[in-house]
Amino acid sequence: MKLNLRQIEVFRAIMLSGSISGASKLLFVSQPAVSRLIAYTEQRLGLMLFERIKGRLYPTPEARRLFVEVTALYQNVQRVNEVADNLAENREGQLRLACSPSLGQSLLPRAIARFRQLHPEIRIVLQTQIPAAMEQSLLTQQVELGVAYMPVNHPSLATRPLYENRIVAVLPAGHPLAGRRQVTAAELAREPLIGYSADIPFGMLVHKLFGAEDAQPEPRIEVQQAHVACALVQAGAGVALADEITVAGPIWSDVVTVPIADTVNAPVNVFHLQLQPLSRLAQAFIDVLVTLDLPAGA
């Protein structure tokens, strides 16, 4: 074995603190002891993990890659400790969930509140994660259910559609288009638009809504999340596109939503391991999601 737990612990402490002295304080050992152990670790691995430049310690690319795996290991250890705590304290049960950031401010609070009414003794752990992180959390069983926009395509994950969740126009109250029964994408393209990064799922949907490349507007402001776009509309910074579930989350004063002609959907799905039986708690939470009272068309 090239690495033992003590070597991993010292390596992690250096990565977290950024220095030998910081690691020694974290571990309550001397600096020479930390230096000797990390030098021995590099020798065993045949890799240089750190370089000293102008008196400061910098991790190599190999160290950064190794740290990803070490972090996952510590997360799993934390999970073991949490299970042990639950057993020791005789808790009735625990449900671990992940969701995309926007849903963490709209759908999930409502669903969890309803679930808590039905199961007040259950402990819930909710993590907000980007799709790639959520996928890893599901595959490593750090969470049992993930709720997100768009599909997470992995052969080991099962997908259950929850809501169609239409994209609508979000306008300041008093805007000339606010009183319309519906607006077109072309009309919105002529407005000061709050847009989204093209490399995120919601940004891809918005791109699809506007159609051909020559019809794509140039956003005046670019954001990553729909609830941020709604807040900007509320502040009078422009108009935006958002999904119905996000708009139905916090109370957006002085904001009006208008349907879009020929709109697209930002479908919400729940994900879990394909070949792993769901717990009764997870099944009950999915039932809450399915029966939750949402705005028409969501």
Instruction: Judge contact between 167 and 245, C-beta under 8 A.
Output: no
pLDDT digits (tens, 9 = 90+) for 56-101: 889 999 999 999 999 999 888 888 887 777 655 545 678 999 998 8
State the CB neighbour count (10 A cutoff) for residue 257.
19
pLDDT digits (tens, 9 = 90+) for 134-192: 998 999 999 999 999 866 678 899 999 999 999 999 999 999 999 999 999 999 999 99
Residue 144 DSSP label: S
Rounded-to-integer distance, Cα 195 and Cα 241, Å: 8
> Band of the pLDDT at 283, cuts 50, 70, 90?
very high
How confident is the model at residue 189, as a pLDDT? Answer: 92
C-alpha of 216 from chain center: 27
Q: Looking at the predicted structure, is the pLDDT value of residue 288 above 60?
A: yes
Q: Looking at the predicted structure, is the pLDDT value of residue 241 above 50?
A: yes
Q: Looking at the predicted structure, is the pLDDT value of residue 197 above 80?
A: yes
Q: DSSP secondary structure string, 218-266?
A: --SEEES-HHHHHHHHHTTS-EEEEEHHHHTSS--TTEEEEEBTT--B-
Q: What is the CA radius of gyration of the chain?
A: 24
* Residue 65 structure tokens: 């890659």
Rounded-to-integer distance, Cα 182 and Cα 174, Å: 15
Q: Looking at the predicted structure, is the pLDDT value of residue 227 above 70?
A: yes
Residue 35 makes CB contacts below 8 A (sequence gap 6+) with 20
| Placement of tokens 């740290």 in the chain | 67
- Strand stretches in the chain, DSSP E: 50-53, 56-59, 94-99, 123-128, 145-149, 157-163, 167-172, 193-196, 221-223, 239-243, 255-259, 268-273
Put simply, whether the predicted model's pTM sits higher than 0.75 gets the answer: no
Shortest CA distance to 98 belongs to which of 143, 135, 140, 139?
143
State the CB neighbour count (10 A cutoff) for residue 69.
10
How confident is the model at residue 91, as a pLDDT? Answer: 52
C-alpha of 156 from chain center: 19
Give all domains of the chain, ordered by start, each with its CATH number: 3-86 (1.10.10.10), 93-162+266-289 (3.40.190.10), 165-257 (3.40.190.10)
> Band of the pLDDT at 1, cuts 50, 70, 90?
low
The mean pLDDT value for 282-293 works out to 92
pLDDT, mean over the chain: 88
